[in-house]
Structure 1
Amino acid sequence: MKIVIASDHGGYELKQFLIETFKKEGYDFVDYGTNSEESVDYPDYAIKTCEDVAAGKFDRGILICGTGIGISIAANKVKGIRAAHCTDCFSAKMCKQHNNANVIVLGGRITGPELAAEILRTYLNEKEFLGGRHENRVNKIKAYEEKVYK
């Protein structure tokens, strides 16, 4: 699985923790930055990351800002992205099963590192999109994107 990770300054510390934690578990993330706690603008990181996920360069994306809210708003502006801001493991599992989310979003200032690792582990280990009635809903989102992003 090809995975990209990015954060703004508010998510930098958690991003570094997750990269180190998951490296030990055999995951290899491509890090799109930021590379310090110096203030940056989260849309720059969300858009670059999500454009590459939407283009198929990566299977999944991980985004982190202070709360996870701003970066998830920016991420969901990119056609083809279904970014889910998750604060618990059940949401992380459901966002893949029901919404076929291709990006997970975490809040570096609201979710502790160990819980964030469990949330991310749950998301990455969830392989199956259930389809069925859920596919119809995702297809409605895709149809709207096609209408709006001509």
Structure 2
Amino acid sequence: MRIGLGSDHNAFDMKESVKSYIQELGHEVIDYGCHSCSEVDYPEVAFEVGQDIMKNKLDRGILCCGTGIGVAIAAGKVPGIRAALCHDTYSAERAQLSNNAQILTMGAKVIGVEVAKQVVKVYLDSHFSGGNSGRKVQQITDKEQEFLKGESAQHEKTYK
């Protein structure tokens, strides 16, 4: 798989360790930064990974920040993206099996690198198969499209 990987400065060390591990597992990694421990804001990194997933340039994404919350929120703003914050293997598995989450997020100040590697492995080894979960994911997708259409109509009404 082609995996997009990104972080802020709080999770730089975790990202680097996870990057090597993903490559050891045989996946291609595209590193979206950050590229040092110098302070950087995470939203743009999360947006880029999400957009490239939607453009089919990536199969999945993994984002890290201090808590994993900020990157999950930012990535989730990209239409069509489902980002799941996971700090344990069960949640990582369910993120894929039940929610078809294209992006896994983790917090470097919440879990250690070795646990993060376990979480990543389970996430990458899990694959969405639809079923009852497919129906639920479709409901989320449909509502998102409804919201986007409503926003577009409201925007047009405001500027006419």
Moved over 3 A (4+): none
Q: Counterpart of 1:68?
A: 68
CA distance in 2 between counterparts of 1:138 and 1:55 reads: 19
Q: Counterpart of 2:158?
A: none
Q: Counterpart of 1:92?
A: 92
Percent sequence identity over matched residues? 40
User: How far does the alpha carbon of each residue in 1:101-127 deviate from its partner, in whole angstroms, 9 at most, with x for none?
Assistant: 110001111110000000000000112
Q: Counterpart of 2:8?
A: 8
Question: Given the alignment of the two structures, is residue 136 of structure 1 paired with residue 157 of structure 2, yes or no?
Answer: no
Q: How far did 1:55 drift?
A: 1.5
Q: Counterpart of 2:54?
A: 54
CA distance in 2 between counterparts of 1:114 and 1:5 reads: 17
The structure carrying a bigger helix percent of its residues is: 2
Question: Given the alignment of the two structures, is residue 146 of structure 1 paired with residue 145 of structure 2, yes or no?
Answer: yes
Cα RMSD (Å) of the superposition? Answer: 1.0
Query: Which ranges of structure 2 fall in alignment gaps of 5 or more residues?
Result: 150-160
Q: Counterpart of 1:43?
A: 43
User: How far does the alpha carbon of each residue in 1:72-102 deviate from its partner, in whole angstroms, 9 at most, with x for none?
Assistant: 0111111110100001000000110000111
Q: Counterpart of 2:104?
A: 104
**SS of match in other structure, 1:149:** helix
Q: Counterpart of 1:22?
A: 22
Instruction: Tell which structure's C-alpha radius of gyration is larger.
Output: 2
Q: How far did 1:25 drift?
A: 2.8
Q: Report how many residues are paired.
A: 149
CA distance in 1 between counterparts of 2:124 and 2:78 reads: 21
TM-score relative to the length of structure 2: 0.89
**SS of match in other structure, 2:48:** helix
